């Protein structure tokens, strides 16, 4: 199945876990992000998937055309994955931070960027906040 972000991020996908898994996994694999497999855990907006990349546990959540959030729970460097998602979506991440549970969260926003950045920067529960240009 030839697919890209237009079939699941820029347009709402079918609310079928199997089809979402196929579309998202194939998008990553066709963009040279191998060793990744995601399983759909919520097939309604916000869509959610969990899995592993290079033995790093991760989760993604998104609302089509609005935002995508990547959460990892490892000290491993995920820069190649971030660059791959940047290629897939066509724009750089907006912000990253460590949440109260110690997970690293990186978010890509397509809408209300400044408002979302301010809500994160103003929250004392988040640390190691980094804005991307």
Indicate the pTM of the whole model.
0.94
pLDDT tens figures, 58-80:
999 999 999 999 999 988 899 99
How far is the C-alpha of 58 from the C-alpha of 85, rounded, in Å?
13
| 27-to-12, 24, 43, 84 alpha-carbon distances in Å | 15, 5, 17, 10
pLDDT tens figures, 86-128:
999 999 999 999 999 999 999 999 999 999 999 999 899 999 9
CB atoms within 10 A of CB 101: 9
N-to-C CA span, the chain: 33
3-state SS of 24-64 is HHHHHHHCCCCCEEEEEEECCCCEEEEEEECCEEEEEEEEC
Backbone angles phi, psi at 31, to 5 degrees: -100, 25
pLDDT tens figures, 78-89:
999 999 999 999
Q: Mean pLDDT in the chain?
A: 95
Residue with tokens 């097939």: 43
How far is the C-alpha of 100 from the C-alpha of 87, rounded, in Å?
29
């Amino acid at each position: 199945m030839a697919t890209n972000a237009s079939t699941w991020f820029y347009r709402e996908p079918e609310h079928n876990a199997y089809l979402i898994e196929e579309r998202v996994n194939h998008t990553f694999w066709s963009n040279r992000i191998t060793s990744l497999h995601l399983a759909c855990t919520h097939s309604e907006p916000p869509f959610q998937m969990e899995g592993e990349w290079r033995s790093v546990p991760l989760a993604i959540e998104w609302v089509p055309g609005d935002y995508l959030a990547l959460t990892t729970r490892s000290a491993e460097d995920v820069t190649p994955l971030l660059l791959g998602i940047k290629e897939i979506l066509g724009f750089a991440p907006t912000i990253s931070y460590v949440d109260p549970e110690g997970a690293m969260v990186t978010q890509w926003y397509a809408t209300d960027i400044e408002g979302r950045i301010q809500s994160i920067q103003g929250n004392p529960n988040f640390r190691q906040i980094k804005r991307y240009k």
